[in-house]
Homo-oligomer: A and B are copies of this chain.
Amino acid sequence: MRDVMVVGTGITPFGELWEHSLRDLGIRAGMEAIRDAGITSSDIDALFVGNMAAGRLIDQTHIGALIADFAGLAGRNLPTVTIEGADASGAAALHHAYLSVASGLHDCVVVGGAEKMTDLPDPEVTEITATALDQQWESFFGATLFSMYAMMARRHMHEFGTTREQLARVAVKNHRNGALNPAAQFRRPVRPESVLEAAEVADPLGMLDCAPISDGAAAVVLCSAERARRLPGPQVRIAASAQAGDTLSLSSRRSLVGFDATSVAMERALKLAGRSRKEVDFAEVHDVTTISEIMAIEDLGFVKKGAGGPATASGMTAPGGELPVNTSGGLKARGHPLGATGIAQIIELVLQLQGKAEERQVPEARVGLAHNVGGCGATAFVHILEVA
């Protein structure tokens, strides 16, 4: 298969965007990505959209067709598709868009992620995010996404002595990073005490341990390396696009303190990229809760299992640390519009690799990694991007 480049990015601010519909958001991100790539919409061969739940959130399926239509792409009868893998829908869309270019089927495609979550009351949104769990054995009985992660956090504390304060450090770091990201939902730092004192969501996790409910859209343009040569740079290569799965229900898993899907996707990605972990300069990981980030850096193999809490407390994952993690603010502070998250992660990688991340720039960033998880770990994607 041939090399695939990311040649343009577009993102809306994430947040409670009362004045914008999903179609507005999708079009804004998509058109910005096309402009950023220095191409026109007539260069686009297909549109891929990552979306988890618009059928329930806004009574609209067929989102791919919707966005193509209102972005003025319908006249060319472009193929469009919506791809879903719970809140890994963005990475899933990227994976299949990547494949369509790598295989030679298409030369140039737009892949976006979008979600409009704030049109419904919060409890209903909580129910909708819980559709990513096993409905028959988990969510039907009242389990929510955050309550599942809370159980994992308790077990992680029990097995490894991970502390409440170490969890809080993830939120503090990611809020500090988010404050520097113009697209972030929360652009203010939080103090460790605020995280510890915040209202409880599911013991031991509080409000500031959990990603918010967000509206937003993000899009990238992918081209074959050959087609990309005629475009302005700097360009970024997708060195690996890898996926792994696991049982849907947490109760069937081998372990409660990590995701095998993440570890396996990581091994597959490193093999595809021909890289070692040491070569990864920075990472965006799926911090839907604070414990999620701690487990992610362990499952990705950047620290050994159980060492994620102390590593975070030591500043290893902070800006200037050995492996800066979630320089964008992560899901926690940038926001988590389900289907958009996987693409927003890729955009942070591209900005860092292009040296355009401004105040949050990682020095000499050459290789970046994005990690997007669906639900409570039944789906995981790892993408590795590098300077072309």
A261 / chain B contacts, CB cutoff of 8 Å: 77
Q: Check B135–A59 contact: CB distance below 8 A.
A: yes
Contacts A82-B85, A245-B65; A77 near B135 (Cβ below 8 A): no
Interface assignment of A352: CB less than 8 Å from any CB of chain B: no
Q: A interface vs B, CB < 8 Å?
A: 1, 21, 23, 52-53, 55-56, 58-62, 64-66, 68-70, 74, 77-86, 92, 95-96, 99-100, 102-105, 127-128, 131-136, 139-140, 243-249, 252, 260-261, 264, 374-375, 378-379
A260 to B105, CA, bound (A): 22
Contact among B70, B79, B83 for A81, CB-based, below 8 A: B83
A260 / chain B contacts, CB cutoff of 8 Å: 77
Q: Check A77–B131 contact: CB distance below 8 A.
A: no
Contact among B23, B85, B136 for A21, CB-based, below 8 A: B136
Q: Check A69–B102 contact: CB distance below 8 A.
A: no
A103 to B132, CA, bound (A): 30
A379 to B83, CA, bound (A): 14
A338 to chain B, nearest CB (A): 9
A363 to B132, CA, bound (A): 46
Contacts A245-B79, A247-B74; A85 near B99 (Cβ below 8 A): no
Q: Check B60–A135 contact: CB distance below 8 A.
A: yes
Q: Lowest 6 CB-CB distances: which A-B pairs, in order?
A: A103-B103, A65-B378, A79-B243, A77-B244, A60-B135, A82-B84
Q: Check B86–A131 contact: CB distance below 8 A.
A: no
A99 / chain B contacts, CB cutoff of 8 Å: 96, 99-100, 103, 105
Q: Check B65–A379 contact: CB distance below 8 A.
A: yes
Q: Check B374–A65 contact: CB distance below 8 A.
A: yes
Q: Check A80–B128 contact: CB distance below 8 A.
A: no
Residue of B nearest to A260 (CB): B77
Residue of B nearest to A131 (CB): B61
Q: Check A69–B128 contact: CB distance below 8 A.
A: no
A379 to B1, CA, bound (A): 28
A269 to chain B, nearest CB (A): 12
A378 / chain B contacts, CB cutoff of 8 Å: 62, 65, 69, 74
Q: Check B53–A55 contact: CB distance below 8 A.
A: yes
A267 to chain B, nearest CB (A): 10
Contact among B65, B105, B136 for A375, CB-based, below 8 A: B65
Q: Check B62–A131 contact: CB distance below 8 A.
A: yes
Known: A81-B92, A81-B243. 7 other contacts (CB 8 A): A59-B131, A61-B132, A62-B85, A62-B133, A65-B374, A81-B85, A96-B96
